[in-house]
Chain A
Amino acid sequence: MAERVVKLPDVGEGIAEAELVEWHVKVGDVVREDAVLGAVMTDKATVEIPSPTDGRVIWLAGHVGDLLAIGSDFVRLEVDGKSEPATEAAKLALPGAGAATRRSDRVAAAPRAPASEPTKELGSQPSASPLHHAVERPLAAPAVRLRAREAGVDLRQIRGTGPAGRITHNDLDAYLARDRTGTTATPHPARTAVTDIKIIGLRRKIAEKMSIANARIPHITYVEEIDVTALEDLRAKVNGQKRPGKPKLTLLPFLMRAMVRAIAELPHLNAHFDDEAGIVHQHAGVHIGIATQTPTGLVVPVVRHAEARDIWDCATEVARLAEAARNGNATRDELTGSTITITSLGALGGLATTPIINHPEVAIVGVNRIAIRPHWDGAAFVPRQIMNLSSSFDHRVIDGFDAAQFVQHIKLLLETPAMIFID
């Protein structure tokens, strides 16, 4: 018997030490050549360290988590023979050492093997007579082996369905189609087709408009939360009373009226900015565009002179325009000329958005979804209906302070809806 020292090999260029992450053997284990002794990790990868020879483990270099120097002793093995490197003679000595040992190996245990011999261990130590490479090697044709290697698959993980447990191309395909944990998942073949869709008509218009708006306007987006509990109460009560000839009130007419009042305080937000001429056209009339999703894309019908409409009028006009836009019979006049825009996705409004200004306007108000959220009233959390407004402004002509003033004004009005109606 002789001792063979297995040193920690150079597992990667320029690495001085590696972290021990796993032992596959313990002291006393009999290992065969190429069996994995342990694994170390560099900053790049985990590397398994195989045994260079057959032998019995007599010493291990520390515990999992230890840092080991490259070239230091990793495992010491007791090997047959006199001198250190495992000679061919030492390797051949082992199988013949015990009595004739017959074993049914992993390959033999595979399905469809005709009448496999029951395992019979006649030798003294079960692990003392190592399996020959030819035995432990998975049975597969060269082309299958090459494919597996290139796919980084260890064929020992695959159960062959061919004769004598041979691993076929189909077995490899099936293995590659399932996830590595071994659970069979529905195969999701990668789809590599690319469909070209020509951008035409309304979609092209939208694309151009968005490009101009986003390219030319430095946006500032301001998000504020609004407690709409009182407003929703009011809406529920008003809508609860049947009024012939009057439309159902949504939140939009209230917002429009609030905007009209806020614009009265901050009139320069209701404007067109002609940046080429360097002139802001401030409008006296408040023409509110309502971004509306239609089957062919986004359009913005305009409620003209919102400042001259009461809440019922606003509601009626919004409903009429939305209907016309969706039916595709809105006129050109009805789709142009807004001075400020509201964008709302209703229930899909999300928590916050970053609305793109409807060029050449300078402000857009985005309505987010209403949700019941806990609100601290000074003594306790109470459920309140909360809605966010996400509003963008052309920062070239609107300062953040004015933007904030505008939104805060709307907030005040919407949270105390009676103020919308007090002149």
Chain B
Amino acid sequence: MTEIACKLLVIGAGPGGYTCAIRAGQLGIDTIIVEAGKPGGTCLNVGCIPSKALIHAASEYETIAGAAEGKSALGISAAKPSLDFAKTIAWKDGIVRRLNGGVAGLLKKAGVRHIAGHARFRDGKSIEVATQSGLQTIHAETVVIATGSEPIAIPDLPFGGRVISSTEALALTEVPKKLVVVGGGYIGLELGTAFAKLGAAVTVVEAASRILPQYDAELSAPVARHLGALGIAILTGTKAKTLGADGTALMIETSSGEQRTLDADQILVTIGRKPATSRFGLESLDLDMTDSFIRIDDRCRTSMHGIFAIGDITGEPMLAHRAMAQGEMVAEIVAGQRRAWDRVSIPAICFTDPEIVTVGLSPSEASSKGFDVKTDLFPFKANGRAMTLQREDGFIRTVARADNHLLLGIQGVGVGIAELSAVFSLALEMGARLEDIAMTIHAHPTQSEAFHEAALKSLGHAIHI
């Protein structure tokens, strides 16, 4: 066994961990990062990046297939396309590989030592890593836990065989003919939509009364409508039970108590993710927890001195950009700078078709906090750019305080509006009022004009509606 020491040890090279390590390296902190898999974590390897690649490929295919079926209003006709799905997956893997290499390179450039292996706490200041060359002990002044999260399984429907998680769904070698998605949250719908566009017959099973239950009904409605247009069957109020006797069908129970089976080539279970707190000796540290997450303060400090935690393991929202911001902050704290978490909002994007962007408080959240709010939305139906993109579904909505017009939240649903999340976040962080948005020129013709118009509408003088 070999022993080494460092000032900062980061466990997990996902978005939170690698950002923390790179920033620490920039600040001249002697840093080691430990990762059993490839750098980049869930996001880069089996999450954000590969799923977006697949979604893009599916949309391209769908457009051409639509043209081949004579559905193009643009006068474009095409021969029936064929799909080499193995090549699609290889292209997606190529992007992931490039980014793996990119992260590794950035870590190296920042002077961070990267140790491949599975980490295990010996005590609060030392970690054992099972590397290929044997057991390595690392002593660190400060430890950052950034081990992330993993998919939740249904006890009666364990992963294996036809039952897959998002990880396997992103590595399928062929498009399943019949895909059942269990869980109508954003992960299930993003992937379900992609496979539907690629030709799969997709059924979504959701226990709640509607899909995307974490979003308000106004936001999820345009998505639900388009799922219908894509031929995706939605079974709400329905529970997935277990596999049928021959293992090729899923037993479900509808809200009325009716039991039936759904034939499926693949059953994608996306009912949520849970913090990855097991398998690395965390129990021995006896850290304070909040439910199954590690409890942290506004500096990402855990209940043990010198141990920080960032990312999915610290709670919702489990988003890469939250972890990155936390990681950067922790590195600066370790470097002796004064930092604390004071972000106004963490944007969230659902890459369904259309996309949903939420920043800050929803109208009902704002009301329940005791605010008197003004809520207004501007539909893309009245937006010229949306018409030219052939997608007029969706809207942008502003939530502002009635008394001083301070923006509390901004939401939108529409094709390609993920990119607008930056301007929404900036508006909230800068403490913008409706007047600030109204007085800012939004370029024409863009979808962003809907944001401008929503603010104008809230002030009582929208132009284009």
Chain B proximity mask over A47-86: 1 for CB below 8 Å, otherwise 0:
0000010000000000000000000000000000000011
Bound complex: CA of A200 vs CA of B298, how far in Å? 60
- Verify A95–B368 contact, CB threshold 8 A: yes
B344 and A137 within 8 A (CB): yes
Instruction: Give the chain A neighbours of B370 by CB distance below 8 A.
Output: 95, 100-103, 129, 131-132, 135
Interchain pairs with CB closer than 8 A, number: 86
Which of A10, A85, A129, A141 lies in contact with B430, CB distance below 8 A?
A141
Q: Are A164 and B406 in contact (CB under 8 A)?
A: yes
**Does A163 interact with chain B (Cβ within 8 Å)?**
yes
Interface pair B431/A145, CB less than 8 Å apart: no
Secondary structure class of chain B's binding surface, majority of residues: loop
Closest B-chain residue to A162, C-beta based? B431
A window 161-182: CB within 8 A of B: 162-166
Selected contact of B431 from candidates A10, A86, A131, A140, CB within 8 Å: A140
Q: Cβ of B431: which chain A residues have Cβ within 8 Å of it?
A: 139-141, 162, 164, 166
Contact of B118 with A by CB under 8 A: no
Partner of B361, one of A96, A134, A162: A134
Q: Which residues of B contact A187 (CB under 8 A)?
A: none
Asked whether A152 lies within 8 Å of B338 as measured between CB atoms, the reply is yes
Chain B hits for A101, CB < 8 A: 370
In the complex, what distance in Å separates the CA atom of A353 from the CA atom of B371?
72
Number of interface residues, chain A, beta carbon within 8 A: 42
Say whether B84 faces chain A, with CB atoms less than 8 Å apart. no
User: Contact: B339 with A135, CB < 8 Å?
Assistant: no
Choose among A9, A87, A108, A145 the residue that contacts B403 (Cβ–Cβ < 8 A).
A108
Q: How far is the CA of A88 from the CA of B291 in the complex (A)?
A: 8
Q: Are B338 and A87 in contact (CB under 8 A)?
A: no
By secondary structure, the A interface counts as: loop
Contacts of A9 in B (CB 8 A): 303
The residue on B at minimum CB distance from A83 is B291
A115 within 8 A of B: yes
What is the CA–CA distance of A71 and B303 in the complex, to the nearest angstrom? 11
| Interchain nearest-CB distance for A189 vs B (Å) | 23
10 more A-B residue pairs beyond the given contacts A103-B370, A162-B431, with a C-beta to C-beta distance below 8 A? A10-B305, A85-B290, A86-B290, A95-B369, A129-B370, A134-B360, A141-B429, A141-B430, A150-B337, A165-B404
Is the CB–CB distance between B429 and A150 below 8 Å? no
Residue A127 at the chain B interface, CB threshold 8 Å: no
Residues of B within 8 A of A333 (CB): none
The answer to whether A96 and B338 touch across the interface, beta carbons within 8 angstroms, is: no
Any B CB within 8 A of the CB of A196? no
A115 to B404, alpha carbons, bound, how many Å?
A: 7
In angstroms, Cα B436 to Cα A96, docked, is 32
Determine if A163 and B433 form an interchain contact, defined as CB atoms under 8 angstroms apart: yes
- The reply to whether the CB of B295 lies closer than 8 angstroms to some CB of chain A is yes
Residue of B nearest to A168 (CB): B431
Contacts A117-B372, A129-B370: A149 and B340 contacting too (C-beta < 8 A)?
yes
